Amino acid sequence: MELKFAGVWAKVAAMRILNSPNKAGGNGDRKSLEACSIVIFGASGDLTARKLIPALYHLFKDKLMPETFRVIGFARREKTDASWRTELRAALDQFSRTKPVDGKVWAAFAENIFYCVGDLTDKAAYAKLGKQLESFGNPALRDNLLFYLAISPSQFGEVVEQVHCSQLLKRDGPGWQRLVVEKPFGHDLASAEALNRELTRYAHERQVFRIDHYLGKETVQNILMFRFSNSIFERLWNRESVDSVQITVSEKIGVGDRGGYYEEAGALRDMVQNHMLQVLSLIAMEPPVSLEAEAVRDEKVKLLKSIRPLSVEDVAKQIVRGQYFAGAVNGEPRPGYRQEVKVKPDSNVETFVALKLLIDNWRWSGVPFYLRTGKNLPQSASEVRIQFRPTPNVLFAAQCGSHLDANALTLRLQPNEGISLHFNGKVPGTTLGVRPVRMHFSYNAEFGAYTPEAYERLLLEAIAGDATLFIRRDEVETAWKIADSIRTGWENKPLTNREFYAAGTWGPIAADDLLAQTGHEWHEPQVIN
């Protein structure tokens, strides 16, 4: 059986911001996008070729870009407009979500792509950028500027100061200017606060768009639509009905060639502090007063601030870390973490984290939220499982015993995005047999195979000036407070034997022990076809 839901969160966003006069089927309630220039600092990097240009190309192909726009790549490597366009076309052939690339569409798109040679520390290079913007002859292309900082966070301050001193970034008009920055947003609370001070030294907080690509995923966005437009579920979304919540983000891959980065970050900084706490905030937040960006982000921050603080003793009881040793994933041999390139042979860095978090507010008091993420696990999947309270131990529960499952609702974020409802059904026959069954909704089955890449949606909303799916300063800092308290609890404590796990398994024994304390167990992600 298939469940049908009334629309997706992306449609709500579209009604607010995505109106382009060229978009087929557009409606008058949508807001048209203004002409603008998109300046990519670090344009010769991997992010630009793999994500940014393919995303902008698909927006253009789908007639979602402004009618007039320019894309300028800023980097110190010597290139011409023509040579950079050739490089980008080759990358698009490899990374486009639809193949083959439409040659005519690319040719029209490429006419809007330009290159500016310059060093990030060279004041003259920014003056040259300003002249290039002036040369377009359209005041909107000079004044409406989206600066994408596809560079190291250590360079953010330099770039922000330079674009301000070059009169390209202003706090107030003419036009608008926005800064789009990639994570990591610091490596702890102190560095995050310093980074935020740098970003807002010459710009308002409302001009800063911090990207977490996880928030651009279709099903993550659908969480709000699902929760607040379906009364049958919203009435159950509280401590009276929910027994526990599990959020799993598992990865089949190991750290690979990112050993050097992982030695500095670990799973806590890489996944928990950002992606997982963002999903948790959307799952557990209170209804916002409106769908305006600040209303939504206010509730997310309130939720994060409601997470019970963790003392050193709490960390020992509620947080588990793990590290993989040699094993096999789907029959493929994998080395241990300590054998990976650029990893110390006695490294204590975590490649797996499991958490039990408690939220001290009226809705969720007493409901445990279990989060886990790790490398070299059996499958790559992201999902949220809402486990409802079991029925009283009478009638069928008493008769069927362990065969009677508690109801559960699973939101699959990736892959094969969808939503499943788990309930009990009678097995046909003359006996009173029971079996857990599942109804599921699949995005591909209901809406077709098209699902835009996260960067497409996030870039479009940044151009439109809608900050709903971007992370606010206080969100970043609140999340770092949680992560820092965990790191403090781990300080100078080596991994124990129960915290190691073989590659290809679902994590260390200690993670199972964590849930067993309250009679729970982990549920492996289920494939939704």
Tell me how far apart the alpha carbons of residues 289 and 294 are, in angstroms, rounded to a whole number: 10
Whether the upstream peptide bond of residue 392 has omega within 30° of 0, thus cis, is no
3-class DSSP assignment, residue 29: coil
Sign of CA dihedral 148, 151, 152, 158: negative
Tell me how far apart the alpha carbons of residues 369 and 482 are, in angstroms, rounded to a whole number: 14
Count other C-beta atoms under 10 Å from residue 205's C-beta.
Answer: 12
3-class DSSP assignment, residue 507: coil
Tell me how far apart the alpha carbons of residues 311 and 332 are, in angstroms, rounded to a whole number: 40
Q: How far is CA 250 from CA 69, 330, 351, 354, 469, in A?
A: 39, 14, 11, 11, 23
Contact 362, 517 (CB under 8 A): no
In 6-158, beta strands by DSSP E: 36-41, 69-75, 113-117, 145-149
* Nearest one of 51, 49, 30, 40 to 74, comparing CA atoms: 40
In 212-336, beta strands by DSSP E: 242-250, 319-325, 327-329, 332-334
* Nearest one of 267, 279, 226, 306 to 499, comparing CA atoms: 267
Tell me how far apart the alpha carbons of residues 436 and 197 are, in angstroms, rounded to a whole number: 53
For residue 122 the two structure tokens come to 């060279």
Sign of CA dihedral 139, 143, 147, 153: positive
Residue 397 Rama label (left phi>0; alpha psi -120 to 50; beta): alpha
**C-alpha dihedral (263, 264, 268, 273), degrees to nearest 10:** -150
Q: How far is CA 477 from CA 108, 193, 195, in A?
A: 42, 7, 11
**421, β-bridge pairs:** 409, 439
| Residue length of the chain | 529
Q: Are strands 177-182 and 500-502 parallel, antiparallel or unpaired?
A: unpaired
* Catalytic-role residue among 58, 187, 213, 275: 275
Q: Are strands 408-414 and 327-329 parallel, antiparallel or unpaired?
A: unpaired
Annotation marks residue 275 as catalytic? yes
List, by residue number, the catalytic residues.
Answer: 275
